[in-house]
Amino acid sequence: MRFQVGERLVLENEYCTVKYYGFIDAWPNIPTYGIEWDTVTRGKNSGSLNGKKYFSVSHTGAGSFIKETKLTRLVSKRYSFSNATKARYGDSLKSIGEIKFGSKAWEGYGFERLTERNNNISELETVVLHASSIYDTLLPDTKDASNNSEVIFLKTYCCNIKTLDLSSNLFHNFETICEIISYLPKLKKVDLSCNRFNEFPNFQFSNYNFERIENLNLSSCKLPQSILLNIIESFPNLKVLNLTDNDISDTVLEKINFPKTLKSLTLSNNLLHKFPKIDAHTLTNLKTLNIPSNKLERLDASQSNVLQNIDISDNKIKSMSFLDKLNEQFPNLLSLRCNVEDLFKITSDVKSDDYRDAKHIFMEIIARFNSINTLDGSMLDNNIRQDAELYFLSQVQHNKIKFPEGLRWKELCQKYNIKATNNKFKLLPKLDQSIIRLRIASDSNQLIKEEESIIVLESASIRYLKGIICRRLNLCIYNVDLSYKLSTGVVGKFDKEFYLIRDFNIQDNDLIIISLKSEGVKTK
């Protein structure tokens, strides 16, 4: 079988896209494929060989040439949507033995028992087909509703699906996705992450309008601009949208017409320098905005009383004034992620490199915001907030922190009935001791090559601590164990995740050790 340019394949468990088919000078009589690997490091060139260019790649060095005979031998089998669904949910399989979840063991019976439990596929409301090697088999020019097996399967067995996970498959034509979705009348949530969609000039997006879809995940799809804009237009009632890792620039973002119904938007790992515009006409109902791992350094005019959760960690924020603008423009913000450790390293407001200053920045950020109750995953109670605000007032009055005498400053002075020239405060021991810096290391270089650190409240749970660490390292929380080594030499394991950090006698600068469970790592 010959694969067409643009098709997606899996070779030795690695995803790639066919970019060229023909002959090359190095192998003049041998049919050859040119491919671009999703994992750039697998590549050997950029589509050129001996000075001659055969194809283009999105990332330098991601290309390879493979003889047709070798590729045919290495390529993994691909499946239609119906075959993949039946294989996962409908086929009778034998017992798959014992499955362990933590310390408990369960007997697994494959899909024979699963089918008995659900009676049949048609009753399923959630279908997960992650990494099932599904490719484009359902297109209008090949579709005849009277005899097409894919259409018959969708109409007969898929009418009750509300949540559909098609992530990490081999789709490259978005029209296939549109055709599948069009036969799922109850569908609300779709995950299409880690598919790579190409441009097809004859594809008419205007033929499709999916008003019922509320949650759409397009992360790591590397969408061309024209496809991205058209896709979002075709989903006018989205409430949750994930556009992580799509190389979105400020120019492209300004062209996107986001649905007014949108409540959660994720733009992680893109090319943004400016904070997205949010005002009375754009993203008016947005409550959660996640934009970590960009290049943010500017915050232009935006205003929203609705926005409550923001993640701006791992950006290029160089001053606390950026955070002050966040507070002014989004006064009802409740949760903020900014990775205090990273902010401490780059902010121009900090002159000392003493690690304790990072703890002070943690307190300072709390005080700069009107109403946040969660900072970098640590929950803040009223006592913590009060102590942080008093500490902040003290530092401003001693000229250790520059802070404009604007609305927030007036609010603080009025709240504590002080004047800017009087009532000098000192750092409150209670607050200083409640914020701790922990060193993070791993039991192998596979996870962390060099020791890192994290700022948390000692009142945070072990579960919160694990979540923050796993989020930073892009690990699945269920595949990770945490242990600790105290300054006294005591070593132990966190065996109760909903206990507090202080319950284990963890002190400032103690070491947290992260390790993988025997099942291995599973990234998000």
3-state per-residue secondary structure call for 446-499? CCCCCCEEEEEECCCEHHHHHHHHHHHHCCCHHHEEEEEECCCCCEEECCCCCC
**Cβ contact 11:76 at 8 Å:** yes
Class of the domain covering 78-219: alpha beta
For position 133, what pLDDT does the model report? Answer: 95
Q: Which residue has the tokens 């001053």?
A: 319
Please count the other Cβ atoms lying within 10 Å of the Cβ belonging to residue 402. 12
Question: What is d(CA 340, CA 437) in angstroms, rounded to the nearest whole number?
Answer: 11
pLDDT value at residue 73: 95
HSE of 519, CA atoms in CB hemisphere, 13 A? 12
CA distance 455 to 465: 10
| Host H or E run for residue 264 | strand 264-266
Take residue 85 and report the two structure tokens written for it: 């669904």
In the predicted model, is pLDDT for residue 72 greater than 90? yes
**Is residue 96 pLDDT above 80, yes or no?**
no
d(CA 512, CA 409): 37
- Check the CA dihedral 459-465-467-473 and report its sign: positive
Q: How confident is the model at residue 275 (pLDDT cuts 50, 70, 90)?
A: very high
Q: Would you tell me how many other CB atoms lie within 10 Å of the CB of residue 89?
A: 18
- Reported as a pLDDT band with limits 50, 70 and 90, residue 249 is very high
Tell me if 8-74 shares its fold with 272-427: no
d(CA 366, CA 344): 14
Q: What are the DSSP E strand ranges found in 13-135? A: 14-24, 27-37, 48-49, 52-53, 63-67, 97-101, 104-108, 126-128
Segment of 152-166, 338-352, 425-439 carrying the highest mean pLDDT: 152-166
Of 296, 457, 307, the C-alpha closest to 376 is: 457
Round to whole Å and give the CA distance between 277 and 253: 9
C-alpha 257/C-alpha 356 separation (Å) is 44
CA angle centred on 480, ends 478 and 481, rounded to 5°: 120
Decide if pLDDT at 81 tops 60.
Answer: yes
> The domain at 436-516 falls in which architecture?
Roll (3.10)
The pLDDT-based confidence of 352 (bands split at 50, 70, 90) is very low
Q: Domain 8-74: which topology? A: SH3 type barrels. (2.30.30)
Q: Which helix (H) or strand (E) holds 155?
A: helix 149-157
Asked if the model's pLDDT at residue 55 lies above 50, the reply is: yes
Q: Does residue 286 have a pLDDT over 50?
A: yes
CA-to-CA distance for 384 and 380, rounded, in angstroms? Answer: 6
DSSP run (H or E) holding 379? strand 378-379
Task: Collect all residues with Cβ–Cβ distance below 8 Å to 518 and sequence separation of at least 6.
Answer: none
Fold entry, domain 272-427: 3.80.10
> SS3 sequence, 175-223?
HHHHHHHHCCCCCCEEECCCCCCCCCCCCCHHHCCCCCCCEEECCCCCC
**Domain segments of the chain as ranges:** 8-74, 78-219, 272-427, 436-516
Pairing, β 335-337 against β 374-375: parallel
Q: What is the pLDDT of the chain when averaged over all its residues?
A: 84
Each residue's pLDDT tens digit, 194-231: 999 987 777 788 889 999 999 999 999 999 998 999 99
CB 160 within 8 A of CB 185: no
Alpha carbon separation from 367 to 290, 295, 380, 417, 423 (Å, rounded): 22, 25, 11, 16, 18
Structure tokens at 229: 């804009």
pTM: 0.79
399 pLDDT band, cuts 50/70/90, is confident
Question: Which of the four pLDDT bands, split at 50, 70 and 90, describes residue 39?
Answer: very high
Ramachandran area for residue 214 (φ above 0: left; ψ -120 to 50: alpha; else beta): alpha
pLDDT value, residue 345: 59
pLDDT at 15 over 60: yes
Q: Name 24's bridge partners.
A: 27
> pLDDT-derived band of residue 443, with 50, 70 and 90 as boundaries?
confident
pLDDT for res 105:
53
Q: Which amino acid is at 294?
A: N
Query: Could you give the dihedral angle defined by the CA atoms of residues 430, 431, 432 and 433, in that order, rounded to the nearest 10 degrees?
Result: 60
First-to-final CA distance of the chain: 34
